[in-house]
Amino acid sequence: MVESVDELVGNLKFETTKEIKVPERLIDQIIGQDHAVEAIRKAAVQKRHVMLIGSPGTGKSMLAKAMAELLPKEELEDILVYPNPEDPNQPRIRTVPAGKGKEIVDAYKQEAMKKEQARNMFLFTLVFFIIAYSFLQNQILWGIIAAVMIFMLARYMLPREEKNVPKLLVNNAGRETAPFEDATGAHAGALFGDVRHDPFQSGGLETPAHERVEAGAIHRAHKGVLYIDEINTLTIESQQKLLTALQEKRFPITGQSERSSGAMVRTEPVPCDFILVAAGNLDALYGMHPALRSRIRGYGYEIYMNDTMEDTEENRRKLVRFVAQEIVRDGKIPHFTRDAVAEIIKEAKKRAGRRGHLTLRLRELGGIIRTAGDIAISEGSEYVTVDHVLKAKKIAKSIEEQLADKYIERRKDYRLFITEGMTVGRVNGLAVIGESAGIVLPIIAEITPAMSKEEGRIIATGRLQEIAREAVINVSAIVKKIIGKDMSNYDVHIQFVGTYEGVEGDSASISIATAVISALEGIEVDQSVAMTGSLSVKGDVLPVGGVTQKIEAAIQAGLKKVIIPKDNIDDVLLDSEHENRIEIIAVSRIDEVLEHSLVDCEKKKKLLEKLRSLNSV
């Protein structure tokens, strides 16, 4: 069913996205993750830690940033590090309200400058008198030597006043919101702070320890949010330290490199009262330090992000707003026309890969919006139009999609797939590589007399993975039932042609069944047909994923018909350029698959009669 532009944009009245109001606060901009937004709001009030698990680009870091906006900025503090005359290797730490830190450092600097000036004044006067006196005594040479020595001694031996000036370790002056620190992939020094190496260490040229102290992300996130994506990639030691920092809300800074002079320095504990927002996919959860995970569970919220949202009028309107949001955020690209927005929403439907849903992998969708904007700019257009979006979709292809294109090109060169004529035991199956690219996957079946005395075997090749292997076994059960032949007399060879990446999933089941039946019965298969579908052991065709991408691959390969499961028919969302370029046949039983793919002949007629009589039993 082709939907109108009005329907696609949720019947929202607007000419261009210029008219769409974009909420100011980040938390109000988040789309389709209502449960996460609610938890973040609560966590911000109660100062709880949060774990966000889900697919990339669904808004995890956006939620963490939004949380920082919700935290009270009145509580923000500056952190200063002072020299410690009693123990120079343990600099002192003090906190003051935000903005005060710089004032204190400036006051110390001025004081130090005044003292230095007074000292210099005294030195110059002294030098002057020594030279004057030596001149009067006719000992000018000795006078100059003495003056230089006194000057040098005073300059380099007396402690410099500026060494007492504290260092502003964390400066929160003039902040609009509480800090948001993204420590994804940070090494220990960046995360927990560091003390720089001092090559001089002594003799008057050394830099005082407190000046060499550098804050870590945990300290800069004090009274704000510390965001760590893929938290499992932190070493166990770092996760342990993070746990300590979480519990104590203060963590001393020490030199991270053992061989550096910084390792001798260890500050007093530095405040780090942050809220941790840990993120990642399910692997991140399993690779996490159990104590850290249980801390978050015990004192916070664990949230699973949505990948899709229901395709309702309200949610379509939210996507319209999303387009406007991305334009405002980018700040460079032109606004979209109504038709162009509709095309984006169509893409959101397609990318959901699920009937009646819209994708929430919004970063990818944002990528198309920006590319379309760039194309419009390069063409000097005032607005982004449907044409720009269509072009952007072609350019903004994922690596998998680009790989699939190359794959198809190469296969065409070598005639790995045939798109016309009739062949026994050969079927054009369809598969998805990565998450978004369809390919034609030829499957060949060959039957040979059993080599083993006991029973025939099923030999499947083409780097099949677990589920695909099981599918082959299930299919052979159906074939036995349909054909009624004693399969123990045969070896069945099934080859997945040219699969370099390995095959996973059971969506090739109907293709395997058709290839094997064709080979066993000697009935030719129409090579202009492609197919995808799972199969129950009773012969029902079951739904599969990625139908739209698979159909697009079939079109690109030049095939005429495609057989898909009936349950998947609403998942088909072809671009206007692909619409009506292939005949789509939706089926629910294996006999329908055979009817549409096998070449008409007496044997086929008998086979179908037998199958249908089996069905009706």
Ligand X SMILES: Nc1ncnc2c1ncn2[C@@H]1O[C@H](COP(=O)(O)OP(=O)(O)OP(=O)(O)O)[C@@H](O)[C@H]1O
Note the residues at the interface with ligand X (CB under 6 A): 29-33, 56-62, 229, 279, 322, 326, 360, 362-363, 366
Tokens encoding 556:
């690109």
Residue nearest to ligand X (CB): 59
What's the Cα-to-Cα distance from 15 to each of 287, 342, 371, rounded to whole Å?
49, 12, 21
Residue 452: how many CB atoms within 10 A of its CB? 9
Least Å from the CB of residue 436 to ligand X: 16
**CB-facing half-sphere around the CA of 594: CA atoms within 13 A:** 32
Task: Look at residues 386, 407, 286 and name the one whose alpha carbon lies nearest to residue 5.
Answer: 386
**CB-facing half-sphere around the CA of 506: CA atoms within 13 A:** 18
* Residue-level length of the chain: 617
Would residue 100 show up in a list of annotated catalytic residues for this protein? no
Would residue 576 show up in a list of annotated catalytic residues for this protein? no
Tokens encoding 158:
């007396």
Least Å from the CB of residue 265 to ligand X: 35
Least Å from the CB of residue 243 to ligand X: 22
Least Å from the CB of residue 570 to ligand X: 24
CB 582 within 8 A of CB 532: no
CB 96 within 8 A of CB 77: yes
Least Å from the CB of residue 363 to ligand X: 4
Dist. CA 542–CA 536, nearest whole Å:
7
The distance in angstroms from the start CA to the end CA of the chain is 36
Least Å from the CB of residue 6 to ligand X: 23
Nearer to ligand X by Cβ, of 62 and 348: the residue is 62
Nearer to ligand X by Cβ, of 273 and 364: the residue is 364
Task: Look at residues 258, 175, 164 and name the one whose alpha carbon lies nearest to residue 220.
Answer: 175
Nearer to ligand X by Cβ, of 302 and 387: the residue is 302
Nearer to ligand X by Cβ, of 25 and 606: the residue is 25
Which one is catalytic: 511, 550, 597, 604?
Answer: 550
Least Å from the CB of residue 360 to ligand X: 6
The phi and psi torsions of 445 (rounded to 5 degrees) equal: -120, 140
Least Å from the CB of residue 336 to ligand X: 15
Q: Strand ranges (DSSP E) for 163-255?
A: 167-170, 180-182, 194-195, 213-214, 225-228, 250-251
Nearer to ligand X by Cβ, of 59 and 442: the residue is 59
Nearer to ligand X by Cβ, of 214 and 229: the residue is 229
Nearer to ligand X by Cβ, of 197 and 363: the residue is 363
Q: What is the DSSP string of 117-130?
A: HHHHHHHHHHHHHH
What 402-407 contacts at long range (C-beta under 8 Å, 24+ apart), as own/partner pairs, is 403/433, 403/434, 403/437, 404/433, 404/437, 404/438, 404/439, 404/553, 407/433, 407/439
Which one is catalytic: 507, 511, 518, 528?
Answer: 507
Dist. CA 66–CA 27, nearest whole Å:
5
Nearer to ligand X by Cβ, of 115 and 370: the residue is 370
Dist. CA 50–CA 36, nearest whole Å:
10
As annotated, the active-site residues are: 507, 550
